[in-house]
Amino acid sequence: QDSSATAVPYQGAEYLVSTTVGGQKLNLDFDTGSADLWVFSSSLSTASKQGHNVYTASKSSTYKSLSGYTWSIQYADGSGASGTVGTDTVTIGGTTVKNQAVELATKVSSSFVSDGSDGLVGLSFSNINTVQPVQQKTFFDNAKSSLASPLFAAYLPLNANGAYDFGYLDTTKYSGTPVYAAVSSAGGFWEFPSTSYKVGSTVHSTSSSVTGIADTGTTLILMTDAVVSAYYAQVSGAKNTADGYTFPCSATLPSLSFRIGSTSYATIPGKLLNFQVYSGSTCYGSLQSVGGGSQHIYGDVFFNAYYGIFDASQPRFGFAAI
């Protein structure tokens, strides 16, 4: 049941995919950095429902409640949601999964209320799904057996409609031959070693334990402080403010390249590293600090430059310039 679903950019911060849950249409944020499929539900407070499509279980003829099951998730950016669980038929593009665990939000954090999505589709590994007492599988895990190949790909061009392709690679969406890195799924993420990077043409290496994760649920590229300080040292007028790194909008930004596994470098051009105007003639960088830890997070800005291939067969992560 290979298929492709259109991903529509929303306010430069995320891409939304129209998804049918029990015959009800919702605009969901596909997130390769988490493993819960959750939706805004009719049980939310009136205030939380403002501006969103909600899923009403009682209106679906195929919904089944999982009595006593709950979920609760906290994302790395501090946002979160929680609620109850059932199963229903979920269709994305032309790929349908019956009896998919659908997590109904009865609470969502404020950033989700002001956000454009009506919920998330987790596409990381199912070992980090938060449902209790019995952990549930992701849409992709459930769909895999019906696909020609056990993979999906993310095509997220800047300020234009993109797509998530399930079961096949769309060669019209990228150029050249994809390169792949082995993935370690133990932490639940599409994670690989990422120990070398370039600011412009200057090569730097990090400690060997540094990894990267491919995360469509994060907007920017978040890297360790060593990388971020080396990068902005090359940008005249760059400042590290309480909100993150800013610089004069007139600045010429160097490219940033980083290795994914032991592959060739992925290069983010300077143009993509100016995320948006911060205030007046000051702009905000697409590269920001991940805070602590030794994991780089390659978010949507990475996918603005590369077709990302999430292949469960080994597992491995591949990329090719778009």
Ligand X SMILES: O=C(NNC1=NCCC1)c1ccc(Br)cc1
Q: Which member of 3, 4, 41, 194 is catalytic?
A: 194
Q: Could you write out the DSSP letters of every residue in 27-64?
A: EEEEETT---EEEEBTTS-HHHHTT---B-GGG-TT-E
Binding of ligand X by 131 (CB under 6 A):
no
3-state helix, strand, coil in the chain (%, to 5): 15, 45, 40
Q: Which member of 29, 31, 36, 300 is catalytic?
A: 31
Q: How far is the CB of 64 from ligand X (least distance, A)?
A: 27
Provide the 10 A C-beta neighbour count for residue 80.
14
Binding of ligand X by 115 (CB under 6 A):
no
Contact 91, 1 (CB under 8 A): no
Binding mask of the shown chain, residues 61 to 80, with x at each position contacting ligand X by CB under 6 A: --------------xxx-x-
Q: Would residue 262 show up in a list of annotated catalytic residues for this protein?
A: no
User: CA-to-CA distance for 247 and 250, rounded, in angstroms?
Assistant: 8
Q: How far is the CB of 312 from ligand X (least distance, A)?
A: 18
Binding of ligand X by 225 (CB under 6 A):
no
Q: Which of 178, 217, 285, 308 binds ligand X (CB under 6 A)?
A: 217
The DSSP letter of residue 136 is -
> Of 163-192, which residues contact ligand X (CB under 6 A)?
189
Taking the mean position of all CA atoms in its chain, how far away is CA 184? Answer: 17
Q: How far is the CB of 34 from ligand X (least distance, A)?
A: 5
The DSSP letter of residue 99 is E
Q: Quick one: which segment of 17-25, 27-35, 197-205, 301-309 binds ligand X (CB under 6 A)?
A: 27-35
Q: Would residue 194 show up in a list of annotated catalytic residues for this protein?
A: yes
Taking the mean position of all CA atoms in its chain, how far away is CA 92? Answer: 16
Structure token pair of residue 17: 């995919």
Site residues for ligand X per CB under 6 A: 31, 33-34, 75-77, 79, 189, 213, 215, 217-218, 295, 297
The residues annotated as belonging to the active site are 31, 194
